[in-house]
Amino acid sequence: MHGDTPGAARADSLGTTAGTGATAETGTVAGEASPAGQAPGHALGRRNERLLMTLVVIYSAVVVLLMFLRGIEITPDVMAVAFGLGAVILGRGRLFLRDWLPFVALFLAYELMRGLADNVGLPVHITDMVTAERLVAFGHIPSQLLQDAFHPATGVDIVAEIATVVYMLHFALPLVTGFILWVWRRAHYYDFVAALILLSLWGFVTFVLIPTAPPWYAAQVGALNGPNGHAAISYLKPGAFDTLANFFGFKADYIYTYAFYDVNPNGFAAWPSLHVAYPFLSFLVLRRAFGRIGWIGFAYTLLVAFSVMYTGDHWLIDCIGGVAYAYVSYYVIVRAPAVQRRLARLRDDTLGVGSMGGVREWVTTFPSTVSWRRLVIGAVIAAVGVDGVQTMERARDTATWLYLVPWAVLVVGVWLVAVAVVRRGRAAP
């Protein structure tokens, strides 16, 4: 559709070939020396690619930082808006709607749905978690060892502050990873999203069948006491959050607090740790997409594991379980022929891939390509879903399966809106 436009040439410089949607993942990794004999413009194109990559990373970091400092909720829906703006600037607004809106809606619905997992009535595992932790850690409780080593008797706990910030970035990491992959290695983006959804659903089933208490809860109910008979560990995150709130001035008015979790929280979803699973999944796909630079994701995984154990939110066995779940989820996706055939059709869709004309091109072509009837129907359905969700939240009637009904309506509406925007904009095969 756009293969003969100047924007298509710019798309090629971003590692994407117009007409196929294939990325440059089979070529040399960004940052490596170009083989001899390549076209003179290749080095310039590679420099442009590295510049774009740097700008995308900086943009993502600034978005997250501003959300945190300004008291904006770091959740999938809010971040999607920020990344959507970036996509429009890149001239990929229509493609962003097709690729991201259904994913964000499903991801958000899952995060709100997971609170239903502990309402089934199955017994919560507490003492056996303590036993398993001691078996894995050679008789020790890692959370206790970390707090004994770093937690001061009085004053501000800087380590707890850092750990709390890391914990709060739980939603940010997979979305930033997805955005970088979507811009730079679009083929890997689909693998990442599919694996993330599989990982989340697999985790949800586990939370339903095996509800597990975190270390701080075990300590509070007397299942994790020290030699003096008192709780062996403290729950550090609430105090650290209060200190951060006072320092930045948002105090109890900070939109994040735990309002997102308070809608439908699950206090017994310790094993496996999705806080560790998400960054490890990011590491796996980033390493495959970018080579050695992807090991940054592994370093961040270690930081997250340290943070959630130090604050008392997760056991060591939770972190190990999160790594295992992420590993299996990713390799199920990349090794399953049926899944890869489906993802290949998405990768080959040329919608917007060669169109890098920026905001002006996207705005001028939008009225003639959108399916307005489907757009209106989808918007109405989505509005009904939003109203239903808000009504049940105001009535605090979220701890029931009926809460999933308005969310399902909302997801359907969002999907129809995305299809309306992109369906007529597809390039001819």
Cα–Cα distances in Å, from 348 out to 16, 78, 249?
11, 29, 48
What DSSP designation does 191 have? Answer: H
Would 7 be classed as within a structural domain?
A: no
Write out pLDDT tens, residues 100-128. Answer: 876 777 666 666 665 555 555 578 899 99
CA distance 295 to 355: 32
Asked whether the predicted pLDDT for residue 372 surpasses 60, the reply is: yes
Q: Helix axis angle, 186-209 relative to 93-113, nearest 10°?
A: 10
Domain identity same for 399 and 293: no
Domain identity same for 112 and 208: yes
Closest residue by Cα to residue 125 from 197, 59, 30, 217: 217
Domain identity same for 163 and 274: yes
pLDDT category of residue 44 using cuts at 50, 70 and 90:
very low
Would 128 be classed as within a structural domain?
A: yes
Tokens of 258: 């735990």
Residue owning tokens 């996207």: 362
CA distance 108 to 209: 22
Asked whether the predicted pLDDT for residue 300 surpasses 90, the reply is: yes
CB 206 within 8 A of CB 117: no
pLDDT score of 412: 81
Tokens of 401: 């399966």
For every residue of 203-222, DSSP letters joined together read HHHHHHHS-B--HHHHHHTT
Would 2 be classed as within a structural domain?
A: no
pLDDT category of residue 287 using cuts at 50, 70 and 90:
very high
pLDDT score of 312: 93
Would 299 be classed as within a structural domain?
A: yes
Q: What is the mean pLDDT of residues 234-261?
A: 65
Closest residue by Cα to residue 269 from 137, 125, 132: 125
CB 171 within 8 A of CB 318: no
Domain identity same for 293 and 427: no
CA distance 105 to 161: 31
Q: pTM for the whole thing?
A: 0.70
Helix, strand or coil for residue 272?
coil
Domain identity same for 375 and 315: no
Q: Helix axis angle, 172-184 relative to 274-290, nearest 10°?
A: 20
Closest residue by Cα to residue 80 from 109, 60, 65: 60
Would 364 be classed as within a structural domain?
A: no
Q: Which of 270-274, 327-331, 353-357 has the lowest average pLDDT?
A: 353-357
Domain identity same for 376 and 307: no
pLDDT score of 420: 74
Domain identity same for 209 and 292: yes
Would 261 be classed as within a structural domain?
A: yes
CB 195 within 8 A of CB 330: yes
Number of domains in the chain: 2
pLDDT category of residue 354 using cuts at 50, 70 and 90:
very low
Closest residue by Cα to residue 133 from 324, 327, 319, 325: 319
Q: Report how far Cα 52 is from the mean position of its chain's Cα atoms.
A: 21
Domain identity same for 335 and 398: no
Domain identity same for 120 and 184: yes
Would 13 be classed as within a structural domain?
A: no
Q: Which of 15-19, 97-101, 179-183 has the lowest average pLDDT?
A: 15-19
Closest residue by Cα to residue 21 from 190, 187, 178: 187
With a pLDDT cut of 90, the percent of the chain lying above it is: 24
Domain identity same for 135 and 203: yes
What DSSP designation does 389 have? Answer: H
pLDDT score of 249: 66
pLDDT score of 407: 74
Domain identity same for 170 and 311: yes
Would 365 be classed as within a structural domain?
A: no
Cα–Cα distances in Å, from 242 out to 157, 161, 219?
12, 10, 21
Cα–Cα distances in Å, from 51 out to 43, 55, 148, 329?
12, 6, 44, 32
Contacts of 374 by beta carbon, 8 Å cutoff, 6+ apart: 416, 417, 419, 420, 423
Note the residue count of the chain: 429
Domain identity same for 285 and 412: no
Sign of dihedral through CA atoms 298, 304, 306, 312?
negative
Determine the structural domain holding residue 43 and report its residue range.
22-349
pLDDT score of 111: 63
CB-side neighbour CA atoms (13 Å) of 419? 11
